[in-house]
């Protein structure tokens, strides 16, 4: 029969039918099953991936963003020095001495999206800001000083902060100004923590004034000119803010692009090691060879990736059509809460996906009669 079977053609069957013979369905090629299932239960390895917060937040390469030895990001910049000569006027009781200088803004230029606060769900917390004021006074007497720092947006002052009663002695001294003083060498300045939120285009030291008390004796200084200089540094850790969200994208090269397939379901298996102290929810999408998202294919896991944990997760991709894709896009969403508010952003904290595989529980249906 094996030798005769190839001789049975469609024409032969038609002749037999015409002579009134009964045709055995086993030899009717028009009724053969043209679909078969292969690779049922197969599991294909996917290259492991990992990322550090520094890679995704893209805060490197800016001259006003630094990273300390621990990997914590900080905004840090120096305003233009103020070097002036002060003419001591005649004293009649108390005296006010304006410091005459032209403010020079520190302009940021381009700013990373993560701290810009524009068109995004997540905004960094920069409220723990410190203004370090270094003063060198050549005046052989003590004065108090006040000043104003301004944040500019499109050339307009969006926020200003005023400090008063900093006592200046002859020689060098340094002051640390903060929203809330946490030590004896810090001075509380209400509103200072709002200076960088929203992030401005520029910051400047706009006013400085000197004051002498009425009980002081300055008769020997009247008419004399002395050097006075101010150095201003602004610094703030970049922290998470409560009640904000950020979505990060991660690509997995899990190509499945067979010519003739009928794959309806695939399960992406992931083992992870999360060194980041944040929780992530996870959604997966299939992408075609051009990187476009394939409509109708989506997978959501109910299991949250817990911060600082090692565990596993599965995502099931399903579609009404056929699954054909070149990449899988993982969208990881951080939901911030009160527990992470004020937590420093650290570039070295890492999330690793290991033992990644694509599992085909139903296999692949192949069309034998396809001409593709």
Q: What is the pLDDT of residues 164-207, one digit of tens each?
A: 989 999 999 999 999 998 888 899 999 999 999 888 999 999 99
pLDDT band at 248 (very low <50, low <70, confident <90, very high): confident
| Residue 231 CA, distance from chain mean position | 32
Higher pLDDT among residues 41 and 66, named by residue: 66
Determine the Cα–Cα distance for residues 149 and 52; give it in Å rounded to an integer: 35
Residue 94 has pLDDT above 70, yes or no: no
The predicted structure's pLDDT at residue 370:
52
Determine the Cα–Cα distance for residues 130 and 148; give it in Å rounded to an integer: 14
Q: Are 89 and 100 in contact (CB under 8 A)?
A: no
The predicted structure's pLDDT at residue 8:
30
pLDDT band at 2 (very low <50, low <70, confident <90, very high): very low
The predicted structure's pLDDT at residue 174:
96
The predicted structure's pLDDT at residue 91:
65
Residue 214 has pLDDT above 50, yes or no: yes
Q: Model confidence over 128-147: pLDDT tens digits? A: 999 999 999 999 888 899 99
Q: Are 235 and 144 in contact (CB under 8 A)?
A: no
Residue 283 has pLDDT above 80, yes or no: yes
| Complete domains list, the chain, with CATH | 35-55+242-367 (2.60.120), 64-237 (2.60.120)
Residue 123 has pLDDT above 80, yes or no: no
Mean local confidence (pLDDT), 286-305: 83
pLDDT band at 118 (very low <50, low <70, confident <90, very high): low
Percent residues over pLDDT 70 in the chain: 77
Higher pLDDT among residues 330 and 335, named by residue: 330
Give the residue among 123, 310, 282, 133 at the shortest CA–CA distance from 205. Answer: 133
pTM for this model (two decimals):
0.72
Mean local confidence (pLDDT), 104-111: 91
Determine the Cα–Cα distance for residues 303 and 312; give it in Å rounded to an integer: 9
The predicted structure's pLDDT at residue 19:
38
What is the signed CA dihedral for 246, 252, 256, 257, rounded to 10 degrees?
A: 80
Mean local confidence (pLDDT), 308-331: 83
């Amino acid at each position: 029969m094996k030798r005769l079977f190839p001789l049975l053609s469609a024409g032969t069957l038609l002749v037999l039918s015409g002579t009134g013979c009964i045709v055995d369905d086993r030899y009717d090629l028009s009724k053969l099953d043209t679909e078969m299932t292969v690779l049922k239960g197969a599991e294909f390895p996917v290259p492991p991936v990992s990322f550090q917060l520094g890679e995704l937040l893209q805060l490197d390469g800016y001259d006003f963003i630094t990273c300390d030895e621990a990997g914590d990001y900080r905004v840090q910049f120096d305003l233009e020095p103020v070097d002036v000569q002060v003419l001591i006027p005649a004293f009649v009781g108390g005296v006010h001495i304006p410091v005459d200088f032209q403010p020079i803004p520190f302009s940021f230029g381009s700013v990373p999206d993560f701290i810009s606060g524009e068109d995004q769900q997540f905004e960094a917390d920069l409220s723990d800001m410190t203004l370090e004021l270094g003063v060198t006074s050549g005046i052989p007497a003590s004065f108090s000083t006040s000043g104003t720092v301004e944040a500019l947006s499109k050339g307009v002052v969006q926020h200003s902060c005023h400090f008063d009663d900093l006592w200046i002695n002859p020689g060098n001294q340094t002051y640390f100004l903060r929203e809330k003083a946490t030590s004896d060498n810090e001075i509380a300045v209400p509103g200072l923590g709002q200076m960088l939120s929203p992030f401005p285009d520029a910051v400047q030291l706009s006013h400085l004034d000197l004051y002498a008390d009425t009980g002081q004796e300055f008769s020997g200084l009247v008419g004399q000119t002395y050097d006075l200089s101010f150095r201003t540094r602004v610094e703030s850790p970049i922290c998470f803010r409560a009640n904000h969200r950020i979505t990060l994208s991660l690509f997995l090269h899990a190509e499945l692009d067979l010519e003739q397939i009928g794959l309806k379901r695939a399960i992406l298996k992931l083992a992870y090691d999360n060194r980041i102290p944040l929780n992530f929810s996870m959604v997966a999408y299939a992408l075609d060879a051009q990187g476009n998202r394939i409509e109708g294919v989506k997978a959501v896991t109910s299991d949250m990736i817990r911060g600082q944990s090692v565990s596993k997760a599965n995502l099931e991709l399903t579609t009404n059509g056929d699954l054909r894709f070149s990449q899988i896009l993982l969208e990881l969403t951080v939901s911030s809460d009160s527990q992470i508010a004020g937590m420093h952003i650290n570039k070295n904290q890492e999330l690793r996906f290991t033992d990644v595989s694509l599992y085909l529980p139903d296999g692949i249906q192949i069309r034998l009669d396809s001409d593709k």
